[in-house]
Structure 1
Amino acid sequence: METAVIKTPIGYAEFKGDAHGLISVKVLDEALETKIPAALQEAAQQIEAYFNGSRNTFDLKLNPQGTAFQKKVWQALLKIPFGTTTSYLELSKTLGDVKAIRAVAAANGKNPLWIVIPCHRVIGSNGELTGYAGGLSRKKWLLDHESPVKQGKLF
């Protein structure tokens, strides 16, 4: 397995993968940038393009490790369009079991491919930001970055 680290506006993105696909992406507060191995060049380019605003979807071979249920939830997350959000309740309904809301939320929290599998696009039913493994400030940044309406600062 190969590992690479690049600097992003929300911290250092550490990603791991091999010929079978991208296994994990997470954002760290501190790290050292590394040379990008050949197996991760495309992932690095697409992640950088996402952060500079020139990409809103990813076209990468993914190989996240998890249970069958987690993978089902992660597949549903991939269908949430850029610039939109959904709630845990709506995601549970999409998956066919409204009573599975806690299990869906838990699977969302175990997503190993932050940003690429857009778990940050899931919010509370009341529209509030709820848990994000990378912290709510990063979740807010990502949602603002993806928002079709850019609000300038007044002062």
Structure 2
Amino acid sequence: ADSVGCGAYFVVSNIAVWPVEEDLLMATDYEQTFSSEGLEPVMYISEDSLALLCGAPRGKVDSVLDVCCGSGVQGIVALRHYAGRASFLDLNPRAVRFTKFNLALNRMLNRADGLHNGDLYGSLPPNATFDAIVANPPFVPNPQGIA
């Protein structure tokens, strides 16, 4: 993380802002960052995330669900290009907050049908239906090739 000295204080940023498209920015944690609240970090935007964005079908749909939303990048790009509305779901409450921030940052908060913290079966309304589901589940870096 970048840091700035300020007298007796040392300020460190643990948030990264990623340009996903020319005028679409996404905030998320730096790689391997842990929050001051002890919450799990929100996965950074990787090459895999960008590849999923490029490979997503672009047929127009009314509603999309972003499962394991993290920063919300998959659902927000869907809203930008092909979805009328979106719902977002993640187990990590910090991820849901990042998604809400990113929706507001990109002026799309009014197109979010819901921001849900929890699992797939207990957090969505029982009658919820979606025309498309996108997902970018987190992965665990494996530098030693153990797994």
Structure 1-normalised TM-score? 0.27
Higher helix share: 1
Answer 1 or 2: which has greater strand percent.
2
